[in-house]
């Protein structure tokens, strides 16, 4: 997997956490550095751990399904992307401005389930999981940190758009995996 694809995956996975961070910022009267760091650390840590967990789960059966791995990666990424778009279109309320572990851990888990599934896909694509997971964690940390400030400043203006963009990017990456693996572009005269 090239660095551009990894960057797009990391940004896409960060969009759920970014949206929740925006909501957290909405509930604050005053944004303090410690709150933004806390949100970034929770979401970044879980987004970094989940692909590693998914990778090891996926590695245990990757050789068994090697002939179908590109279709599975395409399917998982497309389902995740469609789900992100669907969730963005639903009217749901933002979580309250509670930063306790009781509130933050479930949110961090919920926003990183898609990263677990990406980890399974990474196992099938034989990706360097530690490098990839670290990059995803860093990207999510930065988006979440910034999301608290953006939410406080601009409100819900960006929340839905960020999730829709993330969903579209995941679907696009799934299509790219399928096109690359099946070598579909070689059938077009201007790509051969």
State residue 190's pLDDT score: 60
pTM for the predicted model, two decimal places: 0.73
> What does DSSP assign to residue 1?
-
Residue that is written with structure tokens 């692909």 in the block: 51
The number of angstroms, rounded, from the C-alpha of 179 to the middle of its chain's C-alpha atoms is 21
Tell me how far CA of residue 95 lies from CA of 20, 61, 77, 146, in angstroms. Answer: 7, 37, 26, 17
State residue 9's pLDDT score: 92
Instruction: Judge whether 23 and 160 are in contact, CB under 8 Å.
Output: no
State residue 159's pLDDT score: 61
Each residue's pLDDT, cut to its tens digit, for the chain (192 residues) gives 788 989 999 998 898 889 888 878 877 878 889 999 999 999 999 999 999 999 998 888 766 766 776 787 788 778 877 887 887 777 665 656 678 998 899 889 888 888 988 898 898 887 899 999 999 999 999 999 999 998 888 765 666 676 677 678 778 877 877 787 777 767 666 655
State residue 160's pLDDT score: 67
Instruction: Judge whether 25 and 151 are in contact, CB under 8 Å.
Output: yes
State residue 80's pLDDT score: 73
């Amino acid at each position: 997997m090239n660095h551009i694809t990894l960057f797009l995956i990391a940004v896409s996975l960060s969009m759920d956490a970014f949206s929740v961070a925006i909501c957290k910022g909405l509930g604050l009267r005053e944004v303090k550095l410690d709150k933004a760091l806390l949100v970034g650390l929770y979401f970044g840590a879980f987004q970094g751990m989940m692909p590693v967990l998914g990778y090891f789960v996926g590695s245990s059966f990757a050789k068994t399904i090697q002939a179908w791995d590109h279709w599975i990666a395409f399917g998982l990424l497309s389902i995740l992307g469609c789900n992100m778009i669907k969730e963005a279109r639903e009217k749901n309320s933002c979580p309250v401005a509670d930063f306790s572990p009781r509130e933050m851990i479930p949110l961090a888990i919920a926003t990183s389930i898609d990263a677990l599934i990406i980890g399974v896909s990474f196992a099938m694509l034989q990706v360097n999981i530690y490098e990839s997971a670290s990059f995803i964690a860093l990207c999510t940390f930065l988006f979440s940190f910034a999301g608290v400030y953006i939410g406080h400043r601009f409100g819900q203006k960006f929340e839905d758009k960020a999730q829709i963009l993330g969903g579209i990017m995941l679907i696009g990456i799934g299509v790219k995996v399928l096109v690359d693996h099946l070598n579909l572009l070689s059938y077009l005269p201007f790509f051969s």
